[in-house]
Protein backbone atom coordinates (compact mmCIF):
# COMPACT_ATOMS: atom_id res chain seq x y z
CA UNK A 1 0.00 0.00 0.00
CA UNK A 2 3.00 2.32 0.22
CA UNK A 3 3.51 4.88 2.95
CA UNK A 4 0.70 5.40 5.43
CA UNK A 5 -0.02 9.09 5.80
CA UNK A 6 -1.38 10.48 9.01
CA UNK A 7 -2.44 13.87 10.23
CA UNK A 8 -0.71 15.92 12.90
CA UNK A 9 -1.76 18.32 15.60
CA UNK A 10 -4.34 16.10 17.30
CA UNK A 11 -5.27 17.54 20.68
CA UNK A 12 -7.41 15.54 23.10
CA UNK A 13 -8.42 15.52 26.80
CA UNK A 14 -10.08 13.25 30.63
CA UNK A 15 -10.00 10.69 34.12
CA UNK A 16 -11.68 8.72 36.98
CA UNK A 17 -11.60 8.55 40.76
CA UNK A 18 -13.06 6.70 43.71
CA UNK A 19 -12.11 6.76 47.35
CA UNK A 20 -10.64 3.93 49.35
CA UNK A 21 -12.97 1.61 51.20
CA UNK A 22 -14.02 2.55 54.70
CA UNK A 23 -16.60 1.62 57.30
CA UNK A 24 -18.80 4.18 59.00
CA UNK A 25 -17.86 4.28 62.67
CA UNK A 26 -20.06 7.16 63.73
CA UNK A 27 -17.17 9.27 64.97
CA UNK A 28 -17.99 12.93 65.65
CA UNK A 29 -15.36 15.59 66.29
CA UNK A 30 -17.77 18.41 67.05
CA UNK A 31 -18.08 19.35 63.38
CA UNK A 32 -18.10 16.26 61.15
CA UNK A 33 -19.10 12.64 61.12
CA UNK A 34 -16.19 10.57 59.84
CA UNK A 35 -15.79 7.30 57.97
CA UNK A 36 -13.41 4.71 59.34
CA UNK A 37 -10.50 6.09 57.30
CA UNK A 38 -11.17 9.70 58.24
CA UNK A 39 -13.54 10.80 55.47
CA UNK A 40 -15.70 13.70 56.57
CA UNK A 41 -19.36 13.16 55.70
CA UNK A 42 -21.66 16.20 55.82
CA UNK A 43 -25.15 15.90 57.25
CA UNK A 44 -27.30 13.67 55.08
CA UNK A 45 -24.30 11.75 53.76
CA UNK A 46 -23.13 8.26 54.70
CA UNK A 47 -19.82 6.50 54.09
CA UNK A 48 -20.62 3.97 51.39
CA UNK A 49 -17.83 2.01 49.68
CA UNK A 50 -15.28 4.53 50.82
CA UNK A 51 -17.01 7.81 49.98
CA UNK A 52 -19.48 10.05 51.75
CA UNK A 53 -22.57 9.35 49.70
CA UNK A 54 -26.14 10.62 49.76
CA UNK A 55 -28.38 8.30 51.78
CA UNK A 56 -29.55 5.70 49.22
CA UNK A 57 -32.91 5.47 50.94
CA UNK A 58 -33.74 9.00 49.83
CA UNK A 59 -31.49 9.81 46.87
CA UNK A 60 -30.51 7.99 43.68
CA UNK A 61 -26.75 8.22 44.13
CA UNK A 62 -25.71 5.71 41.56
CA UNK A 63 -25.75 6.63 37.93
CA UNK A 64 -28.20 4.14 36.52
CA UNK A 65 -30.54 6.50 34.74
CA UNK A 66 -29.09 9.98 34.69
CA UNK A 67 -27.56 10.54 31.31
CA UNK A 68 -26.84 7.28 29.54
CA UNK A 69 -23.69 5.23 29.38
CA UNK A 70 -20.55 7.27 30.02
CA UNK A 71 -19.53 7.64 26.37
CA UNK A 72 -22.85 7.19 24.65
CA UNK A 73 -23.61 9.71 21.91
CA UNK A 74 -27.18 9.61 23.14
CA UNK A 75 -28.86 8.38 19.97
CA UNK A 76 -28.82 4.61 20.16
CA UNK A 77 -30.49 3.75 23.44
CA UNK A 78 -27.38 2.32 25.06
CA UNK A 79 -27.91 0.95 28.54
CA UNK A 80 -26.57 3.10 31.33
CA UNK A 81 -23.81 1.66 33.52
CA UNK A 82 -21.81 2.46 36.62
CA UNK A 83 -19.37 5.33 36.54
CA UNK A 84 -16.08 4.79 34.73
CA UNK A 85 -13.28 7.02 33.53
CA UNK A 86 -13.54 9.24 36.59
CA UNK A 87 -11.16 12.05 37.47
CA UNK A 88 -9.58 9.87 40.18
CA UNK A 89 -7.64 8.11 37.40
CA UNK A 90 -5.68 11.30 36.74
CA UNK A 91 -2.69 10.66 38.99
CA UNK A 92 0.92 11.83 39.06
CA UNK A 93 3.62 11.72 41.74
CA UNK A 94 5.93 13.91 39.60
CA UNK A 95 8.72 11.36 40.09
CA UNK A 96 9.74 10.92 36.44
CA UNK A 97 11.18 14.44 36.05
CA UNK A 98 9.23 15.12 32.86
CA UNK A 99 5.77 16.18 31.77
CA UNK A 100 3.62 13.04 31.90
CA UNK A 101 1.50 12.06 28.93
CA UNK A 102 -1.53 12.79 31.11
CA UNK A 103 -0.79 16.50 30.89
CA UNK A 104 -0.38 19.46 28.60
CA UNK A 105 2.12 21.89 30.11
CA UNK A 106 1.59 25.58 29.40
CA UNK A 107 2.95 28.91 30.53
CA UNK A 108 3.20 32.60 29.78
CA UNK A 109 6.55 34.10 28.88
CA UNK A 110 8.41 34.40 32.16
CA UNK A 111 6.67 31.43 33.82
CA UNK A 112 7.77 27.79 33.51
CA UNK A 113 6.87 24.37 34.89
CA UNK A 114 9.71 22.19 36.18
CA UNK A 115 9.61 18.61 37.48
CA UNK A 116 12.30 17.22 39.76
CA UNK A 117 12.75 15.30 43.02
CA UNK A 118 9.08 14.32 43.07
CA UNK A 119 7.77 17.85 42.76
CA UNK A 120 6.16 20.09 40.17
CA UNK A 121 7.49 23.60 40.57
CA UNK A 122 5.97 26.62 38.85
CA UNK A 123 8.71 29.21 38.66
CA UNK A 124 8.42 32.89 37.76
CA UNK A 125 11.14 35.09 36.27
CA UNK A 126 9.15 38.04 34.97
CA UNK A 127 8.60 41.32 36.79
CA UNK A 128 4.92 41.23 35.87
CA UNK A 129 2.31 38.60 36.78
CA UNK A 130 2.47 35.47 34.65
CA UNK A 131 0.70 32.09 34.71
CA UNK A 132 1.82 28.50 34.12
CA UNK A 133 0.58 25.02 34.93
CA UNK A 134 -0.59 21.61 33.78
CA UNK A 135 -3.98 20.80 32.25
CA UNK A 136 -5.09 17.21 31.76
CA UNK A 137 -4.84 16.18 28.14
CA UNK A 138 -8.10 14.26 28.32
CA UNK A 139 -11.48 14.81 29.87
CA UNK A 140 -12.74 12.78 32.81
CA UNK A 141 -16.01 12.14 34.62
CA UNK A 142 -16.11 14.04 37.91
CA UNK A 143 -19.25 12.25 39.14
CA UNK A 144 -18.41 10.12 42.19
CA UNK A 145 -14.76 11.08 41.76
CA UNK A 146 -12.25 13.53 43.16
CA UNK A 147 -9.29 15.69 42.23
CA UNK A 148 -6.72 15.90 45.02
CA UNK A 149 -3.34 17.67 45.17
CA UNK A 150 -0.50 17.92 47.62
CA UNK A 151 0.54 21.57 47.94
CA UNK A 152 4.05 21.96 49.34
CA UNK A 153 4.25 25.69 48.81
CA UNK A 154 1.76 28.29 47.69
CA UNK A 155 4.27 31.07 47.33
CA UNK A 156 2.89 32.58 44.15
CA UNK A 157 0.30 35.31 43.78
CA UNK A 158 -2.31 32.63 43.06
CA UNK A 159 -1.98 28.85 43.45
CA UNK A 160 -4.87 26.89 41.97
CA UNK A 161 -6.38 23.41 41.88
CA UNK A 162 -9.10 23.48 39.24
CA UNK A 163 -11.85 21.44 37.62
CA UNK A 164 -12.71 22.90 34.21
CA UNK A 165 -15.70 21.64 32.26
CA UNK A 166 -16.13 21.50 28.49
CA UNK A 167 -17.73 24.96 28.37
CA UNK A 168 -14.87 26.59 30.26
CA UNK A 169 -16.74 26.95 33.58
CA UNK A 170 -14.49 26.16 36.53
CA UNK A 171 -14.46 25.17 40.18
CA UNK A 172 -11.31 26.08 42.08
CA UNK A 173 -9.45 25.92 45.34
CA UNK A 174 -7.21 29.00 45.36
CA UNK A 175 -4.55 30.28 47.74
CA UNK A 176 -4.21 34.05 47.36
CA UNK A 177 -3.58 37.03 49.59
CA UNK A 178 -3.27 34.81 52.66
CA UNK A 179 -6.65 33.14 52.11
CA UNK A 180 -7.72 29.72 50.88
CA UNK A 181 -10.79 30.24 48.72
CA UNK A 182 -13.51 27.99 47.27
CA UNK A 183 -14.34 29.66 43.96
CA UNK A 184 -16.60 29.15 40.95
CA UNK A 185 -15.86 30.88 37.64
CA UNK A 186 -18.53 30.92 34.95
CA UNK A 187 -20.01 33.24 32.35
CA UNK A 188 -20.99 35.69 35.06
CA UNK A 189 -17.41 35.92 36.35
CA UNK A 190 -15.67 34.70 39.49
CA UNK A 191 -17.66 34.05 42.66
CA UNK A 192 -15.95 33.27 45.98
CA UNK A 193 -18.15 30.82 47.88
CA UNK A 194 -16.11 30.52 51.09
CA UNK A 195 -12.65 31.28 52.46
CA UNK A 196 -10.41 30.73 55.49
CA UNK A 197 -6.94 32.04 56.40
CA UNK A 198 -4.41 29.89 54.56
CA UNK A 199 -2.17 27.86 56.88
CA UNK A 200 0.27 25.69 54.87
CA UNK A 201 0.65 22.94 57.47
CA UNK A 202 -3.11 22.68 58.06
CA UNK A 203 -3.99 22.95 54.37
CA UNK A 204 -1.27 20.63 53.06
CA UNK A 205 -3.71 18.69 50.83
CA UNK A 206 -6.59 20.08 48.78
CA UNK A 207 -9.41 18.24 47.08
CA UNK A 208 -12.70 18.71 45.29
CA UNK A 209 -14.97 15.69 45.12
CA UNK A 210 -18.44 15.04 43.75
CA UNK A 211 -21.02 12.78 45.38
CA UNK A 212 -24.67 12.46 44.40
CA UNK A 213 -24.76 15.78 42.57
CA UNK A 214 -22.95 17.77 45.27
CA UNK A 215 -19.41 19.14 45.00
CA UNK A 216 -17.29 19.39 48.16
CA UNK A 217 -14.24 21.65 48.60
CA UNK A 218 -12.06 20.16 51.37
CA UNK A 219 -8.59 20.34 52.93
CA UNK A 220 -6.43 18.13 55.10
CA UNK A 221 -3.11 18.15 56.93
CA UNK A 222 -2.52 14.41 56.48
CA UNK A 223 -5.03 13.01 53.92
CA UNK A 224 -6.79 11.24 56.79
CA UNK A 225 -9.07 13.83 58.38
CA UNK A 226 -10.68 16.24 55.92
CA UNK A 227 -12.24 19.58 56.76
CA UNK A 228 -15.11 20.92 54.69
CA UNK A 229 -14.62 24.42 53.33
CA UNK A 230 -17.73 24.56 51.14
CA UNK A 231 -20.34 22.33 49.46
CA UNK A 232 -23.07 23.04 46.90
CA UNK A 233 -24.89 21.36 43.99
CA UNK A 234 -22.21 20.73 41.38
CA UNK A 235 -22.13 23.98 39.34
CA UNK A 236 -20.29 22.63 36.25
CA UNK A 237 -20.88 19.88 33.68
CA UNK A 238 -19.50 17.06 35.82
CA UNK A 239 -19.44 14.41 33.08
CA UNK A 240 -16.67 16.06 31.06
CA UNK A 241 -13.94 17.86 33.02
CA UNK A 242 -10.24 18.61 32.87
CA UNK A 243 -8.02 18.64 35.93
CA UNK A 244 -5.69 21.64 36.30
CA UNK A 245 -2.84 22.61 38.64
CA UNK A 246 -1.58 26.13 38.05
CA UNK A 247 -0.16 29.26 39.60
CA UNK A 248 0.44 32.93 38.91
CA UNK A 249 3.27 35.04 40.17
CA UNK A 250 6.23 37.26 39.42
CA UNK A 251 9.97 37.19 40.01
CA UNK A 252 9.46 38.48 43.56
CA UNK A 253 6.74 36.05 44.72
CA UNK A 254 8.56 32.71 44.74
CA UNK A 255 7.62 29.35 43.26
CA UNK A 256 4.44 27.35 43.73
CA UNK A 257 5.16 23.67 44.44
CA UNK A 258 2.91 20.61 44.10
CA UNK A 259 4.13 17.12 45.02
CA UNK A 260 1.21 14.96 43.93
CA UNK A 261 -2.08 14.71 42.12
CA UNK A 262 -4.43 11.96 43.33
CA UNK A 263 -1.62 10.04 45.03
CA UNK A 264 -3.31 7.94 47.71
CA UNK A 265 -6.60 7.83 45.83
CA UNK A 266 -7.70 4.34 44.77
CA UNK A 267 -10.05 4.37 41.77
CA UNK A 268 -12.84 1.86 42.20
CA UNK A 269 -13.18 1.44 38.43
CA UNK A 270 -10.94 1.85 35.41
CA UNK A 271 -11.57 3.66 32.17
CA UNK A 272 -14.74 3.02 30.19
CA UNK A 273 -14.56 -0.02 27.94
CA UNK A 274 -14.03 0.87 24.28
CA UNK A 275 -17.26 -0.96 23.49
CA UNK A 276 -19.24 1.67 25.47
CA UNK A 277 -18.43 4.38 22.90
CA UNK A 278 -21.61 4.59 20.82
CA UNK A 279 -22.48 7.12 18.18
CA UNK A 280 -24.72 6.86 15.14
CA UNK A 281 -24.01 10.49 14.23
CA UNK A 282 -27.71 11.30 14.09
CA UNK A 283 -27.36 14.80 15.48
CA UNK A 284 -24.67 17.44 15.90
CA UNK A 285 -22.53 18.60 17.57
CA UNK A 286 -19.67 16.13 17.92
CA UNK A 287 -19.16 17.44 21.43
CA UNK A 288 -18.88 16.35 24.17
CA UNK A 289 -17.52 12.93 23.19
CA UNK A 290 -15.49 13.88 20.12
CA UNK A 291 -12.95 16.53 19.23
CA UNK A 292 -12.98 17.48 15.55
CA UNK A 293 -9.91 18.77 13.69
CA UNK A 294 -9.29 19.74 10.09
CA UNK A 295 -6.80 21.21 7.66
CA UNK A 296 -7.74 23.85 5.14
CA UNK A 297 -9.84 22.23 2.42
CA UNK A 298 -11.70 19.84 4.70
CA UNK A 299 -14.87 20.13 6.80
CA UNK A 300 -16.13 17.67 9.44
CA UNK A 301 -19.85 17.49 10.22
CA UNK A 302 -22.59 15.13 11.36
CA UNK A 303 -25.01 14.94 8.47
CA UNK A 304 -27.99 12.64 7.91
CA UNK A 305 -26.78 9.93 10.29
CA UNK A 306 -23.20 10.00 9.03
CA UNK A 307 -19.92 11.43 10.17
CA UNK A 308 -19.14 13.38 7.01
CA UNK A 309 -15.77 14.71 5.88
CA UNK A 310 -15.91 16.85 2.75
CA UNK A 311 -12.73 17.70 0.85
CA UNK A 312 -11.93 20.23 -1.84
CA UNK A 313 -9.84 17.51 -3.46
CA UNK A 314 -6.65 19.37 -4.38
CA UNK A 315 -3.30 19.36 -2.62
CA UNK A 316 -2.85 17.75 0.79
CA UNK A 317 -5.62 17.95 3.37
CA UNK A 318 -6.60 15.83 6.40
CA UNK A 319 -9.36 15.90 8.98
CA UNK A 320 -11.09 13.69 11.51
CA UNK A 321 -12.36 13.22 15.03
CA UNK A 322 -10.90 11.83 18.23
CA UNK A 323 -12.38 10.93 21.60
CA UNK A 324 -11.88 13.47 24.36
CA UNK A 325 -12.07 10.67 26.94
CA UNK A 326 -9.66 7.79 27.35
CA UNK A 327 -11.12 4.30 26.99
CA UNK A 328 -9.97 0.76 27.75
CA UNK A 329 -9.54 -1.63 24.81
CA UNK A 330 -8.41 -4.58 26.92
CA UNK A 331 -10.92 -7.44 26.70
CA UNK A 332 -13.04 -5.06 24.63
CA UNK A 333 -13.44 -3.84 21.06
CA UNK A 334 -14.43 -0.87 18.93
CA UNK A 335 -16.12 -1.10 15.53
CA UNK A 336 -16.50 1.44 12.72
CA UNK A 337 -19.03 1.29 9.89
CA UNK A 338 -16.70 2.47 7.10
CA UNK A 339 -18.92 1.61 4.17
CA UNK A 340 -18.80 5.22 2.97
CA UNK A 341 -15.02 5.44 2.72
CA UNK A 342 -14.31 6.61 -0.85
CA UNK A 343 -11.99 4.95 -3.36
CA UNK A 344 -10.71 8.22 -4.84
CA UNK A 345 -7.15 8.55 -6.13
CA UNK A 346 -4.55 9.52 -3.49
CA UNK A 347 -7.21 9.36 -0.76
CA UNK A 348 -6.78 7.55 2.58
CA UNK A 349 -9.37 6.62 5.25
CA UNK A 350 -8.28 5.25 8.61
CA UNK A 351 -9.50 4.02 12.00
CA UNK A 352 -7.16 4.00 15.00
CA UNK A 353 -6.74 3.51 18.71
CA UNK A 354 -3.94 5.76 19.97
CA UNK A 355 -1.76 5.44 23.07
CA UNK A 356 -2.48 8.09 25.68
CA UNK A 357 -0.70 11.28 24.68
CA UNK A 358 1.22 9.67 21.79
CA UNK A 359 -0.31 9.77 18.31
CA UNK A 360 2.74 7.97 16.90
CA UNK A 361 1.85 4.78 18.80
CA UNK A 362 -1.32 3.29 17.33
CA UNK A 363 -3.29 0.35 16.05
CA UNK A 364 -4.68 1.19 12.62
CA UNK A 365 -7.00 -0.12 9.94
CA UNK A 366 -6.79 1.94 6.75
CA UNK A 367 -7.89 1.97 3.15
CA UNK A 368 -6.65 3.56 -0.05
CA UNK A 369 -8.66 2.60 -3.14
CA UNK A 370 -8.46 -1.21 -3.33
CA UNK A 371 -5.77 -1.57 -0.66
CA UNK A 372 -6.73 -2.38 2.94
CA UNK A 373 -4.08 -2.55 5.67
CA UNK A 374 -3.71 -3.47 9.33
CA UNK A 375 -0.83 -1.90 11.22
CA UNK A 376 0.70 -1.38 14.64
CA UNK A 377 2.94 1.67 15.02
CA UNK A 378 5.27 2.20 17.98
CA UNK A 379 6.84 5.64 18.22
CA UNK A 380 6.23 6.22 14.51
CA UNK A 381 7.77 2.89 13.45
CA UNK A 382 5.64 0.23 11.81
CA UNK A 383 6.12 -3.04 13.72
CA UNK A 384 3.13 -4.82 12.17
CA UNK A 385 1.94 -4.46 8.60
CA UNK A 386 -0.55 -6.74 6.87
CA UNK A 387 -2.05 -5.77 3.50
CA UNK A 388 -4.96 -7.25 1.59
CA UNK A 389 -7.27 -6.30 -1.26
CA UNK A 390 -10.34 -4.38 -0.15
CA UNK A 391 -13.72 -6.02 -0.73
CA UNK A 392 -16.82 -3.85 -0.44
CA UNK A 393 -18.94 -6.91 0.39
CA UNK A 394 -16.61 -8.25 3.10
CA UNK A 395 -14.84 -5.21 4.57
CA UNK A 396 -17.52 -2.61 5.28
CA UNK A 397 -17.11 -2.86 9.10
CA UNK A 398 -13.68 -2.48 10.71
CA UNK A 399 -13.03 -3.75 14.23
CA UNK A 400 -10.06 -3.37 16.60
CA UNK A 401 -10.00 -5.45 19.76
CA UNK A 402 -7.73 -6.92 22.41
CA UNK A 403 -7.64 -10.54 23.38
CA UNK A 404 -5.19 -12.21 25.79
CA UNK A 405 -2.54 -9.55 25.18
CA UNK A 406 -2.94 -9.55 21.41
CA UNK A 407 -4.17 -6.79 19.13
CA UNK A 408 -6.77 -8.26 16.78
CA UNK A 409 -7.77 -6.65 13.46
CA UNK A 410 -11.07 -7.78 11.91
CA UNK A 411 -13.53 -6.86 9.16
CA UNK A 412 -17.11 -7.78 8.36
CA UNK A 413 -19.63 -7.31 5.61
CA UNK A 414 -22.68 -7.23 7.87
CA UNK A 415 -21.39 -6.01 11.24
CA UNK A 416 -22.24 -9.33 12.87
CA UNK A 417 -19.90 -11.99 11.53
CA UNK A 418 -16.26 -10.83 11.65
CA UNK A 419 -13.19 -12.33 9.99
CA UNK A 420 -9.76 -12.01 11.60
CA UNK A 421 -7.31 -10.26 9.24
CA UNK A 422 -4.32 -9.95 11.58
CA UNK A 423 -3.41 -10.85 15.16
CA UNK A 424 -0.18 -9.73 16.84
CA UNK A 425 1.11 -9.10 20.37
CA UNK A 426 0.07 -5.62 21.48
CA UNK A 427 3.22 -3.59 22.12
CA UNK A 428 1.69 -0.72 24.08
CA UNK A 429 -0.77 -0.20 26.92
CA UNK A 430 -4.29 -0.66 25.55
CA UNK A 431 -5.99 0.13 28.87
CA UNK A 432 -5.96 3.89 28.21
CA UNK A 433 -6.33 4.83 24.58
CA UNK A 434 -8.12 7.34 22.37
CA UNK A 435 -10.21 6.46 19.31
CA UNK A 436 -9.63 8.29 16.03
CA UNK A 437 -11.48 8.33 12.71
CA UNK A 438 -9.73 10.23 9.95
CA UNK A 439 -9.37 10.72 6.22
CA UNK A 440 -7.52 12.85 3.74
CA UNK A 441 -5.72 13.19 0.44
CA UNK A 442 -2.03 13.73 -0.27
CA UNK A 443 0.23 14.92 -3.06
CA UNK A 444 -1.83 16.67 -5.71
CA UNK A 445 -4.98 15.06 -4.30
CA UNK A 446 -7.74 13.38 -6.31
CA UNK A 447 -8.35 16.56 -8.33
CA UNK A 448 -12.07 16.79 -7.63
CA UNK A 449 -14.14 17.20 -4.43
CA UNK A 450 -14.49 14.05 -2.32
CA UNK A 451 -16.78 13.12 0.58
CA UNK A 452 -16.02 10.41 3.13
CA UNK A 453 -18.91 9.04 5.20
CA UNK A 454 -18.76 6.90 8.34
CA UNK A 455 -22.12 5.69 9.58
CA UNK A 456 -21.54 4.63 13.19
CA UNK A 457 -19.14 3.71 15.95
CA UNK A 458 -20.12 0.46 17.69
CA UNK A 459 -23.41 0.23 15.79
Residues 6+ apart with CB under 8 A from 199: none
Give the model's pLDDT for residue 155: 82
More confident of the two residues 15 and 274:
274
Give the model's pLDDT for residue 297: 94
Local structure of 124: helix, strand or coil:
strand
- According to DSSP, residue 254 is labeled -
Mean pLDDT of 353-381: 97
Give 51's Cβ-side CA count (13 Å radius).
25
pLDDT in tens, 65-75: 222 344 544 43
Are 59 and 247 contacting, i.e. CB atoms less than 8 angstroms apart? no
The rounded distance, in Å, linking the Cα atoms of 263 and 215 is: 20
pLDDT in tens, 293-303: 999 999 999 98
Nearest Cα to Cα of residue 404 among 424, 375, 384, 382: 424
Mean pLDDT of 383-399: 97
Concatenate the DSSP letters of all residues of 330-373 into one string.
TT-EEEEE-TB----TTEEEEEEEEETTEEEEEEEEEEETTEEE
Query: Looking at beta carbons, which pairs linking 190-199 to residues 24 or more positions away fall under 8 Å?
Result: 193/217, 193/230, 193/232, 194/229, 194/230, 195/229, 196/229, 198/154
**Confidence band, pLDDT 50/70/90 cuts, at residue 267:** confident
Give the model's pLDDT for residue 304: 82
Is the confidence at residue 352, as pLDDT, over 80? Answer: yes
Going across the sheet that includes 205-211, the strands are 111-116, 119-124, 256-261, 146-154, 205-211, 214-220, 227-233
Residues 6+ apart with CB under 8 A from 100: 92, 357
Task: List residues bridging with 195 in a β-sheet.
Answer: 181
Residues 6+ apart with CB under 8 A from 430: 328, 329, 330, 353, 363, 402, 407
Mean pLDDT of 101-108: 97
Is the confidence at residue 160, as pLDDT, over 70? Answer: yes
Mean pLDDT of 313-323: 97
Are 228 and 34 contacting, i.e. CB atoms less than 8 angstroms apart? no
Residues 6+ apart with CB under 8 A from 168: none
pLDDT in tens, 34-55: 233 333 333 344 443 333 333 3
**Confidence band, pLDDT 50/70/90 cuts, at residue 173:** very high
The rounded distance, in Å, linking the Cα atoms of 383 and 24 is: 52
Q: What share of the chain is helix, strand, coil (3-state, %, to 5)?
A: 0, 50, 45
pLDDT in tens, 105-156: 999 999 999 999 899 999 999 999 999 999 999 999 999 999 999 999 998 7
Give the model's pLDDT for residue 87: 97
Give the model's pLDDT for residue 445: 96
Q: With pLDDT > 90 as the criterion, what percentage of the chain qualifies?
A: 78
Give the model's pLDDT for residue 20: 26
Q: State in Å, rounded, how far the first CA of the chain is from the last one.
A: 28
Are 457 and 422 contacting, i.e. CB atoms less than 8 angstroms apart? no
Give the model's pLDDT for residue 303: 82
Phi, psi of 275 (to 5 degrees): -70, -15
| pLDDT, averaged across the chain | 85
Local structure of 56: helix, strand or coil:
coil
- What are the structural domains, with CATH classification, of the chain? 82-261 (2.60.120.200), 272-457 (2.60.120.200)
Amino acid sequence: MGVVLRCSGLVVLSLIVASAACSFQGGFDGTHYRCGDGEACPTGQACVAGVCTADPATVDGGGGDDGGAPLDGGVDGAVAQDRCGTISLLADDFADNQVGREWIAWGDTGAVTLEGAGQLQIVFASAGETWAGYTSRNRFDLRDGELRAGVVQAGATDTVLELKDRTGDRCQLVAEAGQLVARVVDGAGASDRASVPYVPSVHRYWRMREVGGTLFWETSADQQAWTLLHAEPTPIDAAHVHGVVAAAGSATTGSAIFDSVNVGVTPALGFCAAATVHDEFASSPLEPIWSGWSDSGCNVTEEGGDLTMTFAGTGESWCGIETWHLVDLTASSVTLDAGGAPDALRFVSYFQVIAMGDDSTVLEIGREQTSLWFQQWIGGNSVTSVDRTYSASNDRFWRLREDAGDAVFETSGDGTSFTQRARVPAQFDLSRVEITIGAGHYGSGPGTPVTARFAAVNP
